[in-house]
């Protein structure tokens, strides 16, 4: 009689326990978007021959997740875009004064979605995170640049600034604990954006559309921080069992076998919800196609082809032949276009700021000044001697300050500007400017001129014996003052003669000014 196979009954409960643990681990992997291995190793002998594991005579179901099944983090981000970002984009369109900002916002957040999808399929990169993700952030970066290049009317300046304060929150994908918690990018942006939305709420208390804009701006940032806290608390969540970042990008760029799910954007653009900002070709298909073209001896399909010289490449313009068969001469190089005049950057601003008692005039040109008045002159009405006037980055602008005395006048980085005022209590300061003119109808005790080329000052009868000039690193500074019935003009010296006298430097104005 054949000997019976010995059984180790004591290990059966342990086998069942490990099989149950394996099933639960595979189910957990399915929830986070990790594909289970093609074959699950089992402790029982039957499963090693292709049979499913069993427990108590019942078949155990092993979860296998499809490679393209969306992870929970992606599903949650899609829901966030649908409930938060889309309403903001629609609100921007409905307001009418923000141009294409709504469309660019959708594109920026769609680019971040592509990064999240990529992370669910790849391991964390070994190189610097910012360097690894920069090529895949192109869509988001281009959308942000497009928003920053938009010029809106002054009525929409606060809306534009609120959206601009939101945009840095997209850098959370590059943050990693403990250097910086990703959710802080969104939390910090809430306060910065609310500074401007609170002003909008105050001025448009009864306008429902304006209030919706303020609410959706805050909702986008608040829900983003909550999403990051839940799915990416210490940094972008990667797949420890995924492929490399480069391989994942190639795989995601390949056309899928089935038709993709396409979401209709409220901006009118159809966008894929599967790839995001990733681009690339079917590299693996190209390699296999080239391999199939090899000859029997292993040589390439291009082996033995005749080399085409430069003069035989008929697509080149310099080698095209005319009807007579002669070779046409190479075309003359085009003249380089004249560089356009550098435009001012930033939105034109003309406002009074309570903090500092300051009138601010920034980024204005002759064209933008016409929006402030019919004659193109920007008029400042001073109501308190504590107030001051500050001009920055203006070109071709004329400013008239009314209302009597005020504290000070400051011009920084201005060109071809004219300023007419009555009395300055402290001083007039000029720095980094070109081609300016000042006229005081009252008194200005001190003119401080630094790093300026071309400055003409017109003094009144009262001011000519009081005003003093502190000039450094400047040239072409002239002063006009009343001399009887006429006006007399004198230059401020810019050349001096220095000598050592008794161990000290003695300076005198050059003879050119005598």
User: pLDDT tens across 188-220, in order?
Assistant: 888 888 888 988 888 888 888 889 899 999 999
Q: Looking at the predicted structure, is the pLDDT value of residue 459 above 90?
A: yes
**Beta pairing, strands 358-362 & 349-353:** antiparallel
Tokens of 71: 């992870």
Peptide bond into 178 cis (omega under 30): yes
- pLDDT of residue 10 exceeding 70: no
| pLDDT at residue 53 in the model | 42
Residue 179 has pLDDT above 50, yes or no: yes
Q: Which residue is it, tokens 């050349």? A: 495
Residue 99 confidence (pLDDT): 84
Looking at residue 124, the DSSP 8-state letter turns out to be: P
pLDDT at 300: 56
The residue ranking higher by pLDDT, 127 or 362, is 362
3-state SS class at 453: strand
DSSP structural state of residue 234: S
pLDDT of 303 over the 90 cut: no
- The values of phi and psi at residue 262, to 5°, are -115, 130
Asked if the model's pLDDT at residue 241 lies above 80, the reply is yes
Work out the burial of residue 355: count CB atoms within 10 Å of its CB; fewer than 13 is exposed, 13-18 middle, 19 or more buried: exposed
Mean pLDDT throughout 321-350?
A: 64
Least confident of 60-64, 320-324, 370-374: 60-64
Peptide bond connecting 275 to the previous residue in cis, omega within 30 degrees of 0: no
Matching residue, tokens 């929970």: 72
For residue 368, CA distances in Å to 259, 371, 434 come to 51, 6, 20
Q: How confident is the model at residue 393 (pLDDT cuts 50, 70, 90)?
A: very high
**Among 54-58, 263-267, 331-335, the range of highest mean pLDDT:** 331-335
CB 266, CB 85: distance < 8 Å: no
Write down the architecture of domain 72-272 according to CATH. Answer: Alpha Horseshoe (1.25)
Quote the tokens at residue 463. Answer: 């001011």
Q: For the range 305-310, what are the long-range contacts, defined as Cβ-Cβ under 8 Å and sequence gap of 24 or more?
A: none
Q: How confident is the model at residue 384 (pLDDT cuts 50, 70, 90)?
A: very high
Q: Residue 343 has what pLDDT?
A: 55
- For the chain, the structural domain boundaries read 13-59, 72-272, 349-513
The more confident residue out of 268 and 76 is 76
pLDDT at residue 358, as a whole number:
94
Tell me the β-bridge partners of 264: 270
CA 214 to chain centre: 21
How much is the pLDDT for 292? 61
Q: How far apart are CA 13 and CA 43, in angstroms?
A: 11
Predicted local distance difference test score (pLDDT) of residue 418: 96
49: DSSP letter: G
Q: What is the DSSP string of 55-67?
A: ETTEEPPPP---T
pLDDT confidence of 26, banded at 50, 70, 90? Answer: low
Give 306's pLDDT tier (boundaries 50, 70, 90): low
Q: Please tell me the predicted confidence (pLDDT) of residue 50.
A: 40
- Whether the pLDDT of residue 401 is over 50: the answer is yes
> pLDDT value at position 312?
66
Alpha helix ranges (H) inside 232-325: 245-253, 283-292
* pLDDT at position 110 over 60: yes
Q: What would the two tokens of residue 30 be?
A: 């399915």
pLDDT value at position 178? 79
Give 281's pLDDT tier (boundaries 50, 70, 90).
very low
Name the average pLDDT for the chain.
78
At 123, is the pLDDT very low, low, confident or very high (cuts 50, 70, 90)? confident
Is residue 216 within 8 A of residue 88, CB to CB? The reply is yes
- Going by the DSSP 8-state scheme, the letter that residue 302 receives in this structure is T
DSSP 395-443: BS-EEEEESSEESEEEEES-BS-EEEESEESS-EEEES-EEEEEEESS-
Which element (helix H / strand E) includes 24? helix 12-31
* Residue, of 487 and 4, whose pLDDT is higher: 487
Residue 290 pLDDT > 50, yes or no? Answer: yes
Mean pLDDT of the region 103-129: 87
What is the distance, to the nearest Å, from the Cα of residue 158 to the centroid of all Cα atoms in its chain?
Answer: 18
First to last CA, the chain: 136
Res 491 pLDDT > 80: yes
Alpha-carbon distance 351 to 65, whole Å?
Answer: 60
Tell me what pLDDT residue 173 has. Answer: 87
Which residues share a beta bridge with 501?
A: 504
Question: Alpha helices, DSSP H only, in 122-254?
Answer: 129-133, 138-148, 157-166, 183-203, 208-231, 245-253
pLDDT at 7 over 80: no
Q: What angle do CA 227, 280, 307 make, to 5 degrees?
A: 165
What is the Cα 88 distance to its own chain's centre? 18
For domain 349-513, is the CATH number 2.160.20.70?
yes
Question: Which of 252-261, 333-342, 361-370, 454-463 has the lowest average pLDDT?
Answer: 252-261
**Once rounded to an integer, what is the mean pLDDT over residues 355-383?**
92
Average pLDDT over residues 411-431: 95
The tokens of 76 are what? Answer: 């949650």
Instruction: Identify the helix (H) or strand (E) that includes residue 366.
Output: helix 366-369
- Tell me what pLDDT residue 278 has: 39
Residue 457's pLDDT is: 96
Q: Between 259 and 244, whose confidence is greater?
A: 244
221 token code pair:
């940032």
Burial 374-389 (b: 16+ CB within 10 A, else e): eebebebebeeeebbb
Per-residue pLDDT tens over the stretch 31-82 = 555 554 544 433 334 333 344 444 444 333 333 333 445 688 889 999 999 9
Least confident of 87-101, 258-272, 304-318: 258-272
pLDDT of residue 46: 39
pLDDT tens digits, 180-190: 888 888 888 88
**What is the pLDDT confidence band of residue 277, given thresholds at 50, 70 and 90?**
very low
Q: What is the mean pLDDT of residues 425-429?
A: 95
pLDDT at 267: 42
Tell me the C-alpha distance between 362 and 345, whole Å. 10
- Between 50 and 145, the more confident residue is 145
């Amino acid at each position: 009689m054949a000997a019976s196979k010995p059984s180790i009954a004591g290990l059966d409960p342990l086998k069942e326990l490990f099989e149950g643990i394996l099933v639960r681990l595979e189910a957990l992997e399915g929830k986070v978007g990790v594909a289970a291995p093609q074959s699950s190793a089992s402790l029982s002998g039957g499963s090693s021959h292709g049979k499913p594991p069993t427990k108590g005579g019942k078949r155990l179901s092993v979860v296998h997740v499809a490679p393209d099944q969306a992870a929970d983090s992606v599903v949650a981000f899609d829901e966030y875009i649908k409930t938060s970002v889309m309403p903001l984009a629609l609100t921007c369109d409905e307001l009418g004064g923000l141009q294409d900002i709504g469309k660019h916002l959708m594109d920026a957040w769609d680019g971040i979605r592509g990064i999240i999808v990529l992370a669910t399929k790849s391991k964390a990169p070994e190189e610097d995170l910012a360097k690894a993700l920069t090529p895949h952030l192109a869509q988001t970066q281009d959308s942000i640049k497009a928003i920053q290049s938009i010029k809106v009317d002054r009525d929409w300046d606060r809306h534009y600034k609120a959206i601009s304060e939101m945009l840095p929150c997209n850098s959370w994908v590059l943050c990693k604990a403990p250097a910086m918690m990703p959710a802080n990018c969104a939390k910090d942006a809430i306060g910065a954006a609310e500074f401007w939305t609170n002003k909008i709420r105050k001025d448009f208390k009864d306008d429902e559309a304006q209030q919706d804009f303020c609410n959706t701006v805050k909702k986008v940032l608040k829900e983003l921080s909550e999403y990051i806290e839940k799915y990416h608390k210490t940094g972008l969540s990667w797949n420890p069992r995924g492929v490399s970042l480069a391989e994942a990008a190639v795989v995601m760029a390949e056309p899928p076998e089935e038709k993709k799910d396409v979401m209709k954007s409220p901006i009118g653009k159809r966008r894929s919800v599967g790839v995001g900002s990733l681009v690339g070709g079917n590299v693996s298909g190209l390699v296999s196609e080239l391999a199939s073209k090899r000859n029997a001896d292993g040589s390439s399909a291009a082996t033995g082809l005749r080399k085409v010289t430069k003069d035989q490449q008929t697509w080149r313009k310099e080698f095209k032949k005319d009807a007579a068969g002669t070779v046409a001469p190479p075309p003359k190089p085009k003249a380089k276009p004249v560089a356009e005049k550098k435009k001012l950057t930033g939105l034109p601003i003309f406002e009074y700021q309570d903090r500092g008692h300051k009138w601010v005039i920034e980024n204005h040109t002759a064209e933008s000044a016409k929006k402030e008045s019919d004659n193109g002159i920007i008029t400042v009405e001073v109501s308190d001697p504590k107030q001051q006037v500050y001009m920055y980055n203006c070109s071709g602008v004329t400013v008239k300050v009314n209302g009597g005395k005020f504290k000070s006048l400051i011009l920084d980085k201005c060109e071809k500007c004219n300023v007419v005022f009555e009395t300055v209590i402290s001083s007039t300061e000029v720095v980094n400017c070109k081609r300016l003119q000042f006229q005081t109808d009252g008194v200005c005790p001190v003119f401080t001129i630094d790093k300026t080329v071309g400055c003409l000052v017109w003094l009144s009868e009262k001011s000519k014996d009081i005003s003093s000039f502190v000039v450094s690193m400047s040239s072409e500074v002239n002063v006009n003052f009343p001399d009887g019935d006429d006006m007399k003009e004198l230059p401020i010296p810019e050349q001096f003669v220095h000598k050592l006298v008794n161990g000290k430097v003695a300076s005198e104005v050059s003879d050119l000014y005598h």
